[in-house]
Amino acid sequence: MLLKRVNKSWQLARDRIRRKLGVFLFDSKVDDVICPVADLQHVVFIRWDAKWGDAIVSSLMIKPLRKAYPGIKITIVTSAAMSGYFADYLDVDQVLEVSGRPTYRQLNYLAQQLRPVDLLIHFNMHMKMKDLYLLNKVQAKRVAGLDDDIGRVNLKLGKLTHGLHFSEKLVYLLQCLGIKEEHPKYHIPLNTAAVLKVERFLEGIANKPLLVINPCGGDKARRLNNANTRKIINAALDILPAINIAVLSTPDTVSEVEKLCADVARDNVFYNPESRTIYDAIALILKADWVISVDTAIVHIAAGLNKRQLALYNPDELNYSDWHPHSDRAITCFSEQARPADINALAWKTLLPLLVKLLKS
């Protein structure tokens, strides 16, 4: 434990030094943007660190931009893992892939591919040296971002949008562009083959209201163990015995989920053994009446599909402020304080009444 703390302290110190060096070498103060912005021809989104939750929420900007500027060129810079979503499901003109650790030579080539840029959107809260290098090489007319301390970010939204949900930060940016969209929608990717596969799977199961439970989080702190998942399943069946419960799995967790369902040993508690991708999970959520999830990506997908849901979060005020469900059909329950954070420290006295509220709604 001591070694981990020392290592983390060293990493933080290293990152601060690199940032200061990056600012010195690559950053420079440019004139602030006067809003509303007009005459946009090329907009670039930097989403190279994007995960599914970030990507789903960010998708709300594309349709309003396209409506306001029909001839605009929209480019997404993202990872190989996320490029399919942006290229296949969003109305964008160009998707450029970048590796997890791009070299400066690769970033220089990327900048050449991007130029000229009227607006570059980079919502990293704390830009690092390679972020600053890219901004320096792209030389965009305008850079919208949340890191107000960076000189080249001339549409500074950090303080102006502090405390707002991430989607509301994006809506604020749209307003800065003269685009008024009070409630733009997330674009949830519905894969036809995945939906058909789920429909065939459900055909062999008794037709009952469906609760989908996702115990899989993006890291250890947000992964619900089998014991607690089973308690939630049993509690749900005590409230509404005549429902189906489907447990989501990933390729990494399928053996655990299989064991969980075998231990529960109920015909109406199951998982889909053919589920391989996020699109398979989305297809199952599409068919759900209720959703329970520890993962923010699934939370935002359920919100985008307008599902009634119970979202389980660790007690992290800043993270929750940015990434809460943002849906009037969602209920939130926080786990108890734990060090390190652990979603399995469930607050059962709070959770059980909320489960009743969810299933009776």
Mean pLDDT split into 10-residue runs, the chain, 361 residues = 66 86 94 92 93 96 96 97 97 96 97 98 95 98 98 98 97 96 94 98 96 93 96 98 98 96 97 96 99 98 98 94 96 95 96 98 83
CA distance 210 to 196: 17
Give the pLDDT confidence score for residue 147 in this predicted structure.
Answer: 98
- Confirm whether 7 is domain-assigned: no
**Contact (CB, 8 A) for 296 and 285:** no
Q: Are residues 199 and 67 in the same domain?
A: no
Q: Is residue 18 helix, strand or coil?
A: helix
Tokens linked to 145: 């971002």
Give the pLDDT confidence score for residue 49 in this predicted structure.
Answer: 83
Q: Are residues 141 and 266 in the same domain?
A: no
Q: Are residues 234 and 145 in the same domain?
A: no
**Contact (CB, 8 A) for 82 and 50:** yes
Q: What CATH number has the domain bearing residue 276?
A: 3.40.50.2000
The domain of 326 spans 192-359
- ∠ CA 125-130-136, nearest 5°, is 95
Write down which residue in 112, 144, 176 finishes a domain.
Answer: 176
Q: Are residues 166 and 201 in the same domain?
A: no
- Confirm whether 181 is domain-assigned: no
- Confirm whether 56 is domain-assigned: yes
Q: Are residues 118 and 218 in the same domain?
A: no
Q: Are residues 310 and 335 in the same domain?
A: yes
Q: Are residues 167 and 302 in the same domain?
A: no
Q: Are residues 153 and 264 in the same domain?
A: no
Order across the sheet with 244-247: list the strands: 269-270, 244-247, 210-214, 290-293, 308-313, 330-334
Domain count, the chain: 2
Order across the sheet with 143-145: list the strands: 94-97, 73-78, 42-47, 119-122, 143-145, 155-156
Give the pLDDT confidence score for residue 15 in this predicted structure.
Answer: 84
Q: Are residues 160 and 258 in the same domain?
A: no
Give the pLDDT confidence score for residue 180 in this predicted structure.
Answer: 93
Q: Are residues 213 and 77 in the same domain?
A: no
**Other residues' Cβ atoms within 10 Å of the Cβ of residue 39:** 7
- Confirm whether 269 is domain-assigned: yes
Write down which residue in 129, 144, 176 finishes a domain.
Answer: 176
What pTM value is reported for the model? 0.94
